[in-house]
Homo-oligomer: A and B are copies of this chain.
Amino acid sequence: MCQLLGMNCNVPTDICFSFTGFQQRGGGTDHHADGWGIAFFEGRGCRVFLDPEPAVQSPVAQLVRSYPIRSMNVIAHIRKATHGRVALENTHPFMRELWGRYWIFAHNGSLEDFDPPLDGMCLPVGGTDSERAFCHLMQTLRARFGDHAPDVAALFAVVRDWATEVAKHGTFNFLLSNGDCLFAHASTDLAYVERQAPFATAHLVDEDVAVDFSEVTTPDDRVAVIATLPLTDNERWTPLARGELALFEHGKRVDLA
């Protein structure tokens, strides 16, 4: 199984602490050694670091771990190849542009018999079921809303209906962001934690590292972290239910229902 990591904040925040534990799952404390990637939104721009090498050995991962890029929306992925060979073009997360914004997508799971017609506005470059699903989502959004981005409630409704359909083909845990908000969909394992004042010390599961967030935050900061499995062993993580789509904005979960 692949590993997903997402972060959504109300102020630009670095992900070094969470990434330190997450990186260990790419060939260290777990078996996901078929490449990894991470995308950071900074304003409208987005930086994607990809590496088909295992994360624990990767000099690119070392850079990400030590160079604090501050971002309000981050999506990371460590891959265990199922569909599609180990290659850069099959390394998540994937990026496309729609409505003049970048969109980032990463998927954990495997889809069977998922081969929807694609009209050419967005086509997969690699051979994964994941990128095919992402292209189908971009096409679905463009077909539904035309040339103009909808509000977040309308977007949420369409993403939810689409995810429900695609999830009939298999395991479909995914993270999706356009730089403004972050969507998380669970088929099996996905959990989140919301951090806000009063901040406390968090301790990683995968490595003996702790950080006192009260020393590195202001009272108004809010951060939501979403991961396949909880990254810390002394915080309250909330699992998503099977088939649930969660929306995170400004560092917290938003209920649109």
Task: Give chain A's interface residues, CB within 8 Å of chain B.
Answer: 42-50, 52, 59-60, 63, 66-67, 87-91, 95-97, 99-102, 120-126, 142, 146-147
Query: A50 with B50: in contact, given A88-B42, A96-B97, A125-B97 (CB under 8 Å)?
Result: no
In the complex, which of the residues B43, B91, B96, B97 contacts A45, with contact meaning CB atoms closer than 8 Å?
A: B91
Q: Looking across the interface, which residue of chain B has its beta carbon closest to that of A47?
A: B50
Other contacts beyond A43-B89, A44-B88, A97-B123: 11, CB < 8 A: A43-B88, A47-B49, A47-B88, A59-B66, A59-B67, A63-B63, A97-B122, A102-B125, A120-B142, A120-B147, A121-B121
A44/B99 in contact, CB under 8 A = no
| CA A96 to CA B59, docked complex, whole Å | 26
B123/A99 in contact, CB under 8 A = yes
- Chain B CB count within 10 A is highest, among A44, A126, A146, for A44
| A-B contacts, 24 listed (Cβ < 8 Å) | A42-B87, A43-B87, A43-B88, A44-B89, A44-B125, A45-B87, A45-B88, A45-B90, A45-B91, A46-B88, A46-B89, A47-B50, A47-B88, A60-B63, A60-B67, A63-B63, A95-B95, A97-B123, A99-B120, A100-B124, A100-B125, A102-B125, A120-B146, A120-B147
Query: A48 with B48: in contact, given A60-B67, A63-B60, A100-B125 (CB under 8 Å)?
Result: yes
Q: Looking across the interface, which residue of chain B has its beta carbon closest to that of A46?
A: B88
A30: min CB distance to chain B, Å: 24
| CA A63 to CA B61, docked complex, whole Å | 11
Residues of chain B with a CB closer than 8 A to A49's CB: 47, 49
Residues of chain B with a CB closer than 8 A to A100's CB: 123-125
Residues of chain B with a CB closer than 8 A to A89's CB: 43-46
Residues of chain B with a CB closer than 8 A to A142's CB: 120
A125/B147 in contact, CB under 8 A = no
A105: min CB distance to chain B, Å: 13
A237: min CB distance to chain B, Å: 31
A139: min CB distance to chain B, Å: 11
Residues of chain B with a CB closer than 8 A to A59's CB: 63, 66-67
Q: Looking across the interface, which residue of chain B has its beta carbon closest to that of A90?
A: B45
Residues of chain B with a CB closer than 8 A to A66's CB: 59
